Amino acid sequence: MTSSLKIGFIGLGIMGAPMAGHLVTAGHDVFVYTRGKMPDAIAQSRATKCLSARGVAERADIIILMVPDTPNVNEALFSADGIAAGLSAGKVVVDMSSISPIETKLFAKKINALGCDYLDAPVSGGEVGAKNATLSIMVGGSDATFERVKPVFELMGKNITLVGGNGDGQTAKVANQIIVALNIEAVAEALLFAAKAGADPARVRQALMGGFASSKILEVHGERMVKRTFDPGFRIALHQKDLNLALSSARALGVSLPNTANAQELFNSCAAHGGAAWDHSAMVRALEKLANFEIGQQAA
């Protein structure tokens, strides 16, 4: 680290807590604010706890957001006690939440009008990537702002890419979520099929790990399906939010995404069965309902 930076972090949930923790560990001056309970690790750290997003923006030069959805970002930015009310020229707002690419462009314009820079920088890699500082970070914004914030990104992630202008980072993230959802569906169908055919799904997963069917999803989510560990992780409600962004944008663009729509229906079915807060690997449960058979059950 060259010198200590003043970094703000707003939204300390499953992802934000470990990400902010890395910034504290690196020795930066970190100013935090979150809704809900302050996570113990941050509460006990030397991070400065602020009473509002505005308080964070008044003290920090780079202000990071990691909240659930577009309305949460809007509120954190522009409510009376929000970030915009505390900004002064030359500061940078970095939204690492996964939200609407279209709204992102509007948010960036409003922050730019205050003499500040804006990056959208959503991530992939989940809770494990957040804890291990191995997230993929997809960034939208100017070259100069990207270079300014890159040393901070490097404390939280590994594959850090400037995709294009504001909104393009969020577009990349929507594309990421399409691939992840369809991959979960493929793994769920394959393991369900194998189990119903009488093979041990754990061994089938093991057998497929080295070949063309291998993927991070087979590795991580396949294991969750076999072991029935559906605590998030990544909540189905958040993936529904992301596929909603994919499907509504695709409709606006006149692009047909038939299998994305299908994956969304399976998530909708999980939510209807009380599973909005299950990990997204639990999509397999919707397929199990259709098959009237559960992975782990003994095939007849």
Measured distance CA(128)–CA(219) in Å, rounded: 13
Identify the helix (H) or strand (E) that includes residue 295. none
Sole binder of ligand NAD in the list 24, 28, 62, 97 (CB under 6 A): 97
Sequence-distant (≥ 6) Cβ neighbours of residue 242 within 8 angstroms: 98, 173, 174, 177, 181
- Least CB distance to ligand NAD at residue 208 (A): 24
Does residue number 107 form part of the binding site for ligand NAD (CB under 6 A)?
Answer: no
Does residue number 166 form part of the binding site for ligand NAD (CB under 6 A)?
Answer: no
Whether the CB-CB separation of 185 and 283 falls below 8 Å is answered with yes
Is the Cβ of residue 82 or residue 201 nearer to ligand NAD in the bound state? Answer: 82
How does DSSP assign 55-120, residue by residue? HHHHH-SEEEE--SSHHHHHHHHHSTTSHHHH--TT-EEEE-S---HHHHHHHHHHHHTTT-EEEE
Does residue number 260 form part of the binding site for ligand NAD (CB under 6 A)?
Answer: no
- Least CB distance to ligand NAD at residue 300 (A): 36
Measured distance CA(280)–CA(185) in Å, rounded: 10
Does residue number 121 form part of the binding site for ligand NAD (CB under 6 A)?
Answer: no
Q: In degrees rounded to 5, what are phi and psi of residue 159?
A: -95, 95
Pairing of strands 123-124, 135-140: antiparallel
> Is residue 173 flagged as an active site residue?
yes
Is the Cβ of residue 172 or residue 204 nearer to ligand NAD in the bound state? Answer: 172
Q: In degrees rounded to 5, what are phi and psi of residue 64?
A: -100, 140
Show the site string, 216-255: x = touches ligand NAD by CB under 6 A, - = not: -----------------xx---x-----------------
Measured distance CA(94)–CA(206) in Å, rounded: 40
Show the site string, 26-45: x = touches ligand NAD by CB under 6 A, - = not: -------xxxx---------
Sole binder of ligand NAD in the list 7, 8, 9, 12 (CB under 6 A): 12
User: By CB under 6 A, what part of segment 51-90 binds ligand NAD?
Assistant: 53, 66-68, 72, 75-76
- Least CB distance to ligand NAD at residue 218 (A): 17
Sole binder of ligand NAD in the list 5, 26, 93, 123 (CB under 6 A): 123
Catalytic annotation, residues: 173
Query: Interface residues with ligand NAD (CB under 6 A)?
Result: 10-16, 33-36, 53, 66-68, 72, 75-76, 97-98, 123-124, 126-127, 233-234, 238
